[in-house]
Structures are given as C-alpha cells and as structure tokens.
Amino acid sequence: MQTSAPAGVSPDNDVTSSAAQQQLRLGLDLYKQGRAADAIAAFRHGLAEAEKSGTESTEIVSELHSKLGNVAAASGDVGLASASYQAALTIAPHLTNCWCSFGDLHLRCGQHQSAIELYLQALRINPRHWAARANMVQALMAAKQYLVAKAILIELKGERPQDARIHHLLGKTLFELNEIGPAIESFQEAVALNPQDAESINWIGALRQAAGDDKAAQQAYAEAARIEPLIRRPAARQPAEFRVLALYAPFGGNTPTEYLFENAFFDTDTLSLFPDRDYDTAALGENIHLVINLVSDADQTGDLLPLAADLVDRFGLPTVNHPRKVAQTTRDAVAKLLGGIPHCRVPQALRLKAGSDHSEAALEAMLPFTSSCLARPVGTHGGDDFEKVEDLAGLSAFLSQRADHDHYLIEYIDYLSADGHFRKYRFIFVDDQVLPYHLCIGSDWKLHHINTDMAHHAWMQQEEAAFLGDAGAVFGQAQMQALHDIRARMGLDYFGIDCGLDRDGNVVVFEVNASMLVHARNEGFLYKTPAVERIKSAYDAMLRKLVKPR
C-alpha cells in the first residue's frame, strides 16, 4: 500500500514517535480543522508506514483504522468506513467505541438489526457503555422492538434524569406501546428540561388532539411552530437522496404518512401551516427538491388550502397533490366532478349549511333524490355520526342532533352482492397506477375492515387475498377503465377511493380523497403485506420521478 502524506502538511517532529504515530496525531489535528480529506490521507499514510515497518503496535494500527472509519463515516464514504471498522476490530476486538461506531454506521444505513448486534458486541465488553445503549434504542425502535427499547430507556433515565433526549425517546416508545398517558408525561418531562424542544411539544399537541383536548392541542402546535417552524427528520439511510418539504395542517386532515415515510430515503422538513402567519419561502425552500402537500381534507382545512397553494406557487418546485386540486375534493364537489363516467355510479351529494331549515317540508323540497339518504356532519370520516335514514322524519331528527354543524346529505346506492353480503373495495392511486389495498366483506352496508367479522371467516380472507393478488379478475376492463377515468379527473398524484360494485357491475363511488390510511399493521391478515408494499414502492418511485436536478 503506497501512500503519501497530504499536500501542504507535515507530521510533527517528535523523534520518539514512529511515523505511524505521527500520522495518527496529524490526522486527528487535520480533522479538527475541518480538513476531512487530508485527515483520511494522513491515516492512510500512517497505515502504510506501519505496514512498511512491521513493528508498529496493534494499539496504534487499530487506532488508525478506527479513526479512519470515523472520518470516512462522517464524510459519507460508507464503504471505506465499514472496511476500516472491520480492520480495526479484527486486530483489536476489545475496542468498545469502535463496535459502537460500527453500529452507528449500520443504523445510518437503515440496517437496524445488524446495528443492534454490533451495539450488543460493545455492551458485552462494557455493559454500561452509554452511547451503545442510547443508540441501540433508536435501532430497536426502528425495528419495532418497543418493549426492549422501553426497558433500556427507563434504565438510562434513572442514570441521567436530566437528559431531555432520553425522556423524548421514551415518550415515542410509550406511544408505540399505546401507553398514551405515560407518553404525554415523558414528553412533558422532556420539555421541562428543554423548553426549546419543539418536537416534543408537537407530540404533546398530537396526543392532546387525539384525546379530544382541542384547546391544549392548538396551544402546543402554535408554541412548537414558534420555536421551530420546520420539523427536520433525516433519511433512514444516509446520505439522503434528496430533501422534501412537507406541508402539514396541525389541526386538520392530512395524508397519513407513518407508513409512506417509514425508512425514508429522503430528508424531510415538515412545515406546520397557520392561517395568520407569513412564511419566508426563500429560506424554507433552501436545498428542497420536492414539496409534498399533506393537507388533504378540503372540509377540515378549507382556510389553509389557499395558503398552501400560494406557498407551492412561490416555491416553484415539483409538488405532490397541489393544494388547489385538493380543494376540489369535498364530497359534493367530487360528486359533480365524477359525473358521467361510463360504468360508474356517483351518488348525488348536497351540503346543508348549519342553521338551515331541516323540517320535513324543507328537506323534501331541497333533496335532489328520493332514495334512502346517507347523512353525516361535514369533515367527519369513518362510521361515527354517519347514518342511513329511510324517511324525512328520521333525517330531520338526525340533523337536529347537531344543528350547528354543516351536513352532507348523500344519495344511497344499493351495493348488496347476490350472496347477501356487502363488499367495499379500496384502491390507492399512485401516479398513474391504480393499486388494490383492501376488501371489506360484511352483512351491514356500513363497512370498515376493523369492525367486520373477516378475522373469523377463511373464505372472506381468501377472497380478499385473491382481489389483492389480481384486482382485474374482480374489476373487469370496463370497471378498471372507470377507475382510470376517476384518476384522470381528480388530477391528484396520490389519493384513494372506497367503492363497491352494484349487481350490474357498475363501480359505486363511496368516497374519494387523499386522506385514506395505508398501513403495514396486518396482524392476522399477513396476506395483505405484498399489496401494501406495492403501494409503498410505487410511492417511492413517484417521488424519485418528480425530483428534478437543481
């Protein structure tokens, strides 16, 4: 191995030190000066000198390899870093810090299980090694080993109760274990130790919102945004391929991203939007390659979508789900937008303003259809406050329960199958693809996968698995064309549809928007995993396609 000392620098003149030792010290000094490339050259030169002399101590040679690995890792040269750590540990397997650094490298590269194994090697040498335990927690969380992560974090918290980061990580772990109360307490402890911890404050806001404490949630979101307008999350694997700016409505409906952004290959800056704030797009857009608009519920976030649209226009960057297109996805707007598509039945929808006359006579005069009516408050999803009423008296009574709220009145289209079961299909549209996500089968018209009896009926699971494996065998050419026509009219990059098939084979549209959940929690329905992964792969491919060189 022939190398030369870095240009413009000289080793020290300590005649008692070997050439390898001098290059080691030189490399460390160069790295402190920010001269990583020169430091790498010095370490390599030191290794060459050690090889030439043949008498250098194992301690110095392993230190040269280890420090070379550290600088290479910091410089993004994963291959050199990995080879250097392996060389150091081969000749000096007792180097606890080197095992830990090797684990850190695997963690940065998204190799969570191998990172855990490397941290355990460090802990076999020194069971109290702080960095190995603290960093292993992050690998355990990424690998969804939350109970083990919790146990380690409680141990670390006991040793360093003033470490705000430990409290924050414990809060996230407790959330994943559905221990919501203790999670909030941990985030509060983190904020008490570090009042500038915007991420923990955001978590408090999200958990308060989920618990229905809207006032506390709004206060938390606003405080977090005041401290740090951007929530920055690095890619799971470094270096990141690019950086995205995600626009987020802290108190409205957003595209769920827990799964879509999982193990992300891109850095993410998340910007919470507030209607009364001004935003410096020049600063926020620095080093951004793509904007992802997560604000997805046109009913809940109508006041934010114009602001989001203005920001997107000012950024001038490729954008997923332009806010102006999302603004056209209210239930009544979608009913009009999708009308006239062959082999597709779109229920008529009427928006009834709060305070409107909902007497039987008024309803009879305004309703554009005579069939059964589906009624729900505007801005709601799922099965809560959502009923099918058969007559005007029942509809009037339902509306009177929340007379101060806007309501949707939606035509009911029967989609009962010939075998006496209802079937609701969900597709996810990603770029130009239409991908199946799930099928719900049940005996009631109001279907949700979580409240069906599918877990206890093998034939239902087999039918869903067959649909996910070959949606075209269920939705024929005409029905698939209807779905593609829907995709074209919606004009969104990413969204979903819940629909059925009537007995004539028409697609019956229930709901179309960008707020639909895609997740990988398929316990009991593992056959769903390949379909879910196809959606994630298509989403990743779409982002890569949209990014333009800058």
CB of 293 closer than 8 Å to CB of 325: no
Q: What are phi and psi of 111, to 5 degrees?
A: -95, 75
Alpha-helix residue ranges (DSSP H) falling in 128-241: 130-142, 146-159, 164-176, 180-193, 198-210, 214-227
Q: Residue 391 forms beta bridges with which residues?
A: none
Question: Which tokens hold the place of 304?
Answer: 């934010």
The secondary structure of 500-524 as a DSSP string is EE-TTS-EEEEEEES--------TT
- The domains located in the chain, with CATH, are 148-227 (1.25.40.10), 230-318 (no CATH), 348-411 (3.30.1490.20), 422-546 (3.30.470.20)
Q: What's the pLDDT score for residue 328?
A: 95
Distance CA 347, CA 339 (A): 9
Side by side, which strands form the sheet with 494-501?
Answer: 344-345, 507-513, 494-501, 422-430, 433-442
CB of 137 closer than 8 Å to CB of 108: no
Q: Specify the residue for token string 């004539």.
A: 504
The residues, ordered by sequence, that sit 6+ positions from 288 with a Cβ below 8 Å of its Cβ are 243, 244, 245, 269, 315, 317
Residue 83's CB is within 10 A of a number of other CB atoms, namely 15
Q: Is the model's pLDDT at 538 over the cut of 60?
A: yes
| Mean pLDDT, rounded, of the chain | 92
**Residue 139: strand, helix, or coil:** helix
Per-residue pLDDT, averaged over 502-512, amounts to 96
Q: Give just the sign of the alpha carbon dihedral 366, 369, 375, 381.
A: negative
Side by side, which strands form the sheet with 243-248?
Answer: 230-233, 267-272, 243-248, 290-293, 319-320
| pLDDT tens track for 249-308 | 987 889 999 999 988 999 999 999 998 888 999 989 899 999 999 999 999 888 899 999
Length of the chain, please?
550
Question: Do the bridges between strand 373-377 and strand 407-411 make them parallel or antiparallel, or are there none, so unpaired?
Answer: antiparallel
Q: Is the model's pLDDT at 1 over the cut of 50?
A: no
Distance CA 238, CA 106 (A): 10
Residue 38's CB is within 10 A of a number of other CB atoms, namely 21
Distance CA 250, CA 273 (A): 7
Per-residue pLDDT, averaged over 345-367, amounts to 91
Q: Is the model's pLDDT at 61 over the cut of 70?
A: yes
CB of 91 closer than 8 Å to CB of 83: no
- 134: which DSSP letter? H
| pLDDT tens track for 131-184 | 999 999 999 999 999 999 999 999 999 999 999 999 999 999 999 999 999 999
- Tell me the angle at which helices 214-227 and 198-210 cross, rounded to the nearest 10 degrees: 160
Distance CA 166, CA 158 (A): 10
Q: Give just the sign of the alpha carbon dihedral 161, 263, 237, 90.
A: positive
Question: Can you give the pTM of this predicted structure?
Answer: 0.80
Q: What distance lies between CA 517 and its chain's CA centroid?
A: 11
Q: Is the model's pLDDT at 414 over the cut of 90?
A: yes
Read off the pLDDT band of 6 (50, 70, 90). low
| pLDDT tens track for 22-47 | 999 999 999 999 999 999 999 999 99
